[in-house]
Structure 1
Amino acid sequence: MPRVLYIDDDEGLRLLTSRRLRRHGFEVETATDADSGVAMLAEGGFDLVAIDHYMPGKTGLDALAMIAALASPPPVVYVTGSDETSVAVAALKAGASDYVVKTVGEEFFDLLASSFRQSLERRALVEAKEEAEQALRASNERLAAMVKEANHRVANSLQILSAFVNIQASATVSDEAKSALKDTQQRIAAIAQVHRRLYNSDDIATIDMAEYLRPLTEELQATWSTPTSPRKVNLSADPLRLKTDRAVSLGIIVTELVSNACKYAYDRDKPGEVRIRLTQEGECFSLSVEDDGPGFDLAARPKGTGVGTRLIKAMAQSLGAELDHGEGPGARICVTAAL
């Protein structure tokens, strides 16, 4: 049976309440004043407490404040007179779970028992809610840790793969093979950048594209620059976020377009610049990559293997994007897609 403490200075009412509520399924112990009642509560073991307002020394409101200061206070049902609505309101504001108007007759004990049950049910619901929320938080933390660990492992694997490709490129004598392996390294780097961002971010669903593209373009600039033919890669990006898979696709497109511009737009012994601009326009984003080279002929055969062109088209298709080869003094390619 639920164990209840009833605090009231009326000895006759205490005894009668104890007997009547036992019939309703409650085990009732009593206290004569606030101090002795709170002392009993501090020892623990009570599921609920009922307090009368008028008592010698300290009122029920004083007892309510003392109970609220306990480490784990039980629900409190406040007992008031019929003309003490303001007292009942004050008790509820101070933390009481419910209040019951003291009357003469069996109806009072029925109301008291009903209030006890409702208060205990509310406490059980609150505890169940807190346990569920705690379990959900723990589950989310475990899931986030697992995802971060997975991203960390993927990033490490990509770094190892890039190192293998570099070793193979060093052992290859064919210039064409070296160029193809170098391109492969850049593609791996574009994907690895996403996983590095995911591993260091609390948001594992989307990527800040400005933060993602900045180190990627710096790597591309360092890769394709030489002392005699520096390649400057300028980035201008609006603050927008894309889902992870879309960020990867866009990163590969940037890698291929910048690599093509660095390789084919300028002579090997001359400097050159590649400009990247990412903008948001309503529910769409637009990416443009341009250079100041001689431009290109869409009908001409690719200067390289053609893998880069196929990758660009495949990634654009995965984004549901439109490709536009803009006119200018050099090459200008635009990619437009929904966010």
Structure 2
Amino acid sequence: MSMCILYLDDDVAIVRLVQKALGRLGHEVVHAEDLDAALQHLSDRRFDAVVLDHYLRGTTGHDVLHRFHAEGITLPVVYVTGSNEASIAIEAMKAGAADYVIKTVSDDFLPLLISAIEQSIATAQLREAKARADEEIRLGKERAEALLAEVNHRVANSLALVASLLRLQISNSQSEDVRMELAETQARINAIAGMHRSLYTSDDVSRVEMDRYLGRLTSEISNSLAGPDGAVHLTLESDPISLSADQAVSVGMVVTELVTNAFKYAYPEGAGGEIRVRLRQVEEMRALLSVEDDGVGVTSGAAPKGTGLGSRIVKAMALSLGPGLEYRPTERGTCAEVPIHLKA
């Protein structure tokens, strides 16, 4: 593949030698005696590289490199300097030159210069190819994230529609038991829908910000289960922890089941109280979820009330998060804890 090289040097004789040597290899060398001529050539046509001599009339190659930088010229530059001026070449490399060649009267100069030009161009091409590949990867990632966000949006909307249909069934049901079972099912669906909603409203479509997710979830549970007197209050304390989608939905289901159970059984009818949900990061890769109340408590080994479906859901989801569900002894009420192994 032929190359087009701009050679900036006020020594016409050396440029002629380089033109002949590179011309025999099928490459073109355009000569510029000063910076203004070089800039004009660079604006008129495309070059693959620049060969820059250090000593020029009224300036140096270092000044030219700074001007190239100011003009946004990013072509690879091979710097040429005298045999006893290695420090000058090093400064040129620091200023942006791709390579340097020591100018000598020996026969090694031209082969070394040609090799430096070819290697500098090849390196620049590889760098450009990597930049294009990185840009394609970035655009592909953005497209995938946009598609995933749209999928989460559609899933959340579909689940919200199912929850609305359940709400209609609840309002038309004559049986209190049926209404309660449907309300629990609706809460479970809302927990999953809320996770998908958090994903499509987040900057990171693979992680869920748990403080925001649990805030919406507990508000929905409280609005659907709290009685007209509002005697039972649901509170939330959450550290700013982000979880993967699978862990987030497990936490949401655990919170939904435990809070729903506390609303139903913790406080006798007519009695007031509080239900507290906490999510705390206790170690770098470990968090602790707890749901507690000051109610009547639970009897160890007692059979679950109702169908027992909620208890089975909590146990399964808690095991997917870590060692499982634990009940911590308290003077009053119930404290359920679920350790969480955080994923990187």
Q: Could you state the TM-score of these two structures normalised by the residue count of structure 2?
A: 0.90
Aligned to 1:228, the other structure's residue is in SS state coil
* Displacement after TM superposition at 1:301 (Å): 4.5
Aligned partner of 2:325 in structure 1 is: 323
Superposed, 1:34-73 pairs within 5 Å as 34-73=35-74
Distance 2:47 2:327 in 1: 78
Distance 1:59 1:239 in 2: 57
**Residues 41-91 of structure 1 deviation map (CA, whole Å, 9 limit, x = unaligned):** 221221111122223233333333333344444211121111222322232
Aligned partner of 1:96 in structure 2 is: 97
Distance 1:45 1:266 in 2: 81
Aligned to 2:59, the other structure's residue is in SS state coil
Q: Which amino acid aligns with 2:112?
A: L
Aligned to 1:270, the other structure's residue is in SS state coil
* Displacement after TM superposition at 1:298 (Å): 4.8
Mapped pair 1:271 → 2:269: no
Question: Is the Cα–Cα contact under 8 Å of residues 38 and 66 in structure 1 kept in the other structure?
Answer: no
Instruction: Please point out which of 282, 289, 292 is paired with 2:291.
Output: 289
Which stretches in structure 1 are left out of the alignment for 5+ residues? none
CA gap of 1:334–1:73, structure 2 versus 1, over 3 A, is: closer
CA gap of 1:322–1:61, structure 2 versus 1, over 3 A, is: closer
Q: How many residues align?
A: 339
* Displacement after TM superposition at 1:115 (Å): 0.9
Q: Which amino acid aligns with 1:95?
A: G
Aligned partner of 1:16 in structure 2 is: 17
Moved more, 269-278 or 154-163: 269-278
Aligned partner of 2:315 in structure 1 is: 313
Question: Is the Cα–Cα contact under 8 Å of residues 315 and 324 in structure 2 kept in the other structure?
Answer: no
Moved more, 196-205 or 60-69: 60-69
* Displacement after TM superposition at 1:180 (Å): 0.8
* Displacement after TM superposition at 1:28 (Å): 1.3
CA gap of 1:57–1:277, structure 2 versus 1, over 3 A, is: closer
Distance 1:119 1:19 in 2: 20
Instruction: Please point out which of 324, 332, 337 is paired with 1:334.
Output: 337
Aligned partner of 1:217 in structure 2 is: 218
Aligned to 2:56, the other structure's residue is in SS state coil
Q: Which amino acid aligns with 2:239?
A: D
Distance 2:217 2:91 in 1: 63
Aligned to 2:305, the other structure's residue is in SS state coil
Q: Which amino acid aligns with 2:51?
A: A
Aligned to 2:205, the other structure's residue is in SS state coil
* Displacement after TM superposition at 1:237 (Å): 2.9
Superposed, 1:132-281 pairs within 5 Å as 132-281=133-282
Question: Is the Cα–Cα contact under 8 Å of residues 314 and 325 in structure 2 kept in the other structure?
Answer: no
**Residues 246-302 of structure 1 deviation map (CA, whole Å, 9 limit, x = unaligned):** 121121111111111111222333322112233333343333322222223355544
Which stretches in structure 2 are left out of the alignment for 5+ residues? none
Moved more, 299-308 or 310-319: 299-308
Distance 2:251 2:28 in 1: 69
* Displacement after TM superposition at 1:118 (Å): 1.1
Distance 1:76 1:30 in 2: 14
Aligned partner of 1:129 in structure 2 is: 130
Aligned to 1:223, the other structure's residue is in SS state helix
* Displacement after TM superposition at 1:120 (Å): 0.6
Question: Is the Cα–Cα contact under 8 Å of residues 42 and 70 in structure 1 kept in the other structure?
Answer: no
The RMSD of aligned alpha carbons is 2.1
Moved more, 18-27 or 298-307: 298-307
Aligned to 1:106, the other structure's residue is in SS state coil
* Displacement after TM superposition at 1:119 (Å): 0.8
Aligned to 2:156, the other structure's residue is in SS state helix
Aligned to 1:115, the other structure's residue is in SS state helix
CA gap of 1:95–1:323, structure 2 versus 1, over 3 A, is: closer
Question: Is the Cα–Cα contact under 8 Å of residues 24 and 113 in structure 1 kept in the other structure?
Answer: no
Distance 1:239 1:67 in 2: 47
Moved over 4 A (4+): 298-301
Distance 2:13 2:28 in 1: 17
Distance 1:32 1:186 in 2: 79
Distance 1:325 1:91 in 2: 70
Aligned partner of 1:28 in structure 2 is: 29
Distance 1:62 1:284 in 2: 57
Q: Which amino acid aligns with 1:21?
A: L
